[in-house]
Structure 1
Amino acid sequence: MGIAQIVNVDEGLSKERTLLQKLVQEEGVKIVDVAQALGKSRSTISLYITGKYKETEDLREKARNYLVTLGMWEHDSTEPAAAIQIDYITTADALPFIETTDVKRMRYVLKKAATKLKFGIIAGDPGLGKTETLKKYMFSNPGSAIYIRCKSTHTVKSLLQELADELGLPDTGSANQLNRRIVKQLKRSPHFLIFDEADLLKSVDKYEALRDIYDEAGNVGIALTGNLALAEMFLDFAELRPELKRLADRAPFHQRLLGPNREEVEQLLESVNLTNGARKLMVQIALNPRKGGLRNCVEILDVLLDMTEGQPITEEMVLDIGQINLNANA
């Protein structure tokens, strides 16, 4: 049993003063040592112990912390814990960009494909932050890369037209004419080519068009990012389809993304004013691709932060908005 539990506190003296007095008068600790531990002068502590120095919360807190280190003070449930000041965010735009393991994997593939002039393939479930990581890469490497967001409606010609536009070239003529124009420009001014959501291209002729540009230019790297269907095409089953294997053989750098871990999600939510129940639920959503994953987590926060403006977000709010969001994206 600690001393704090058996000492009789003198009337008129605080618990802190009484314990320090006992420490000096009965335990034989020198006042100068106590003063040094509390960051005060010897005279101040001498007067404080005897009740002749004005009580301040700062001094009491220093005394409590010192007594805790000696095993003479145990905080009990009736003592209010010191409040931790957190500047809660009020908009999803203020959420931090977390350097997750997936982000590092993506950055590795992008760097290698760009510098080694190879194909890179990045595949993972929707909502893992692939597009946001690509934007960060573009921002960090201004002028060195061309970004194309693929669409399910792309034909070979429209894909080449979009690439020509990004390179500042005319987008008229046949697919063959566009190809020659693009290759000629890339030979003059090489750019790293990034095709996001590349799984949406689907048909082999579009991937072959990209392989032709790569082979003919001879001085560019290309990155394809998309969902796990991309990995199936070029990593899992390419051996069964020679037309896909030709591109897969040019892609030594590839990664399957695994999604964030719990620590990374909690780091993302650190500055969001969530009740315990709401925080647990948001972590579950972010960790579960079937519930929308990280993307759905951020979209729900976007709505709730606008609603609450920094006030606590409850579990009920998350359930309500989360259900609406899942239905909207179904």
Structure 2
Amino acid sequence: MAVAHLVQRDEGEAISMEGWSKERTLLAKLVQEEGAKITDVARELGKSRSTISLYVNGKYPESEELRETVRNYLRSIGTWEDEQDEAGQAPAVDYITSADELPFIETNDVKRMRYVLKKAATKHKFGIVAGDPGLGKTETLKKYLLTNPGSAIYIRCKSTHTVKSLLQELADALGLPDTGSANQLTRRIVKQLKRTPYFLIFDEADLLKSADKYEALRDIYDEAGNIGVALVGNLALAEMFLDFADMRPELKRLADRAPFHQRLQGPSREEVEQLLERVNLTSAARKVMIQIALNPRKGGLRNCVEILDVLLDMTKGEPITEEMVLHIGQINLTANA
């Protein structure tokens, strides 16, 4: 509904808001009357400062996408109230009751990661994806495997892996005998990959740590000659192969074979809001959940989803309060410490 209102610009000129959308009106009041800084608002909305400055002064054209972005932001800070129907009730929302119903959000990180996987697989190169825990790396890999059936071998790395046990796990995944020495295993694996090339994906690859394990993977890659390899892990992986590889020749040999790499940035506020859109959260609870999802030190997106998993089972679509989020969040962080 359009709202007629006057707001005062900094230089004293009154702006008529007649005909403005509710979204533009409330955001302008937030900036012009309540003192919110345009720079901060623009950052939260994922827009440039100039765009938001023009928008709150009525000089930037609206789109449904922009209105939705502003609306979600205003809702997250408790400024937006949904319109009520004639009976005085807010429109019914089909709230979800299980974390299994949470949507898979195509975040910018997901797109970056998919790009690396596609390029490494098709160009037969090494690809490296690194990011904080809880950014959805493993979930993205699962989606990739589902949409590319039979084309890839997935190995989840462990801190306990030796060179031989890593090769044994790869041999087993290829349907090969896992007996013999490391050299015998390597020859067996290379022979199979020459016959049937697969894209090799090593999740949590930062846990391998020592150069001899990465060298074993590089040897297989070089000798097979027709495969791509993806190393996916935490930021320690980026430090090894992107930041400090020049200081360690044994790592640089692999880094030189990895033209495709990405450091994941974490979700934007808008992406988290999309995830939470159908969760029945109070305004205060929604704000806390967004803070958790955006902060890797609070567990990031993974912790956000784990908290929701517990709370949705408890509430079955009933409102989730800030106190509930803080209580379960503290338990979850303690359990994972």
Q: TM-score, normalised by structure 2?
A: 0.74
Per-residue CA deviations over 1:121-145 (Å, capped at 9, x if unaligned) read 0000000000000000000000000
Per-residue CA deviations over 1:173-198 (Å, capped at 9, x if unaligned) read 00000000000000000000000000
1:85 CA drift (Å): 2.1
The yes-or-no answer on 1:263 pairing with 2:270 is yes
Native 8 Å contact 2:125 2:229 kept in 1: yes
- Distance, in Å, in 2 between the alignment partners of 1:139 and 1:160 is 24
1:80 CA drift (Å): 6.1
Native 8 Å contact 2:293 2:302 kept in 1: yes
Secondary structure of 2:104 counterpart:
coil
1:159 CA drift (Å): 0.3
Q: Which amino acid aligns with 1:322?
A: G
Match of 1:83 among 72, 75, 90: 90
Match of 1:230 among 226, 231, 237: 237
1:302 CA drift (Å): 0.4
Secondary structure of 1:169 counterpart:
coil
The yes-or-no answer on 1:284 pairing with 2:311 is no
The yes-or-no answer on 1:246 pairing with 2:272 is no
- Distance, in Å, in 2 between the alignment partners of 1:118 and 1:97 is 28
Per-residue CA deviations over 1:109-161 (Å, capped at 9, x if unaligned) read 00000000000000000000000000000000000000000000000000000
Which residue in 2 is equivalent to 1:21? none
Secondary structure of 1:194 counterpart:
strand
1:78 CA drift (Å): 12
Q: 1:154 to 1:77 in 2, by over 3 A?
A: closer
Correspondences of 1:144-155 after superposition (within 5 Å)? 144-155=151-162
1:308 CA drift (Å): 0.4
Match of 2:173 among 163, 166, 182: 166
The yes-or-no answer on 1:116 pairing with 2:116 is no
Which residue in 1 is equivalent to 2:138? 131
Which residue in 1 is equivalent to 2:322? 315
Match of 2:110 among 103, 120, 141: 103
Match of 1:299 among 306, 311, 314: 306
1:87 CA drift (Å): 1.1
- Distance, in Å, in 2 between the alignment partners of 1:106 and 1:298 is 20
Q: 1:78 to 1:220 in 2, by over 3 A?
A: closer
Secondary structure of 2:318 counterpart:
coil
Match of 1:205 among 200, 203, 212: 212
- Distance, in Å, in 1 between the alignment partners of 2:290 and 2:246 is 39
Which residue in 2 is equivalent to 1:177? 184
Q: 1:78 to 1:255 in 2, by over 3 A?
A: closer
- Distance, in Å, in 2 between the alignment partners of 1:181 and 1:311 is 56
Secondary structure of 1:271 counterpart:
coil
Which residue in 2 is equivalent to 1:142? 149
- Distance, in Å, in 2 between the alignment partners of 1:209 and 1:174 is 13
- Distance, in Å, in 1 between the alignment partners of 2:196 and 2:145 is 17
Which residue in 1 is equivalent to 2:227? 220
- Distance, in Å, in 2 between the alignment partners of 1:226 and 1:99 is 19
Indicate the percent of aligned positions where both proteins have the same amino acid: 85
- Distance, in Å, in 2 between the alignment partners of 1:85 and 1:329 is 36
- Distance, in Å, in 2 between the alignment partners of 1:325 and 1:252 is 38
- Distance, in Å, in 2 between the alignment partners of 1:236 and 1:87 is 47
User: What runs of 5+ residues in structure 2 fail to find an aligned partner?
Assistant: 1-82
Secondary structure of 1:193 counterpart:
strand
- Distance, in Å, in 1 between the alignment partners of 2:89 and 2:118 is 46
Alpha carbon RMSD of aligned pairs, Å? 1.4
Native 8 Å contact 2:85 2:91 kept in 1: no
Secondary structure of 1:294 counterpart:
helix
1:86 CA drift (Å): 1.4
Q: How many residues align?
A: 255
Q: Which amino acid aligns with 1:180?
A: R
User: What runs of 5+ residues in structure 1 fail to find an aligned partner?
Assistant: 1-75
1:77 CA drift (Å): 9.9
- Distance, in Å, in 2 between the alignment partners of 1:90 and 1:118 is 43
Native 8 Å contact 2:105 2:271 kept in 1: yes
1:83 CA drift (Å): 2.5
Which residue in 1 is equivalent to 2:336? 329
Secondary structure of 1:255 counterpart:
strand
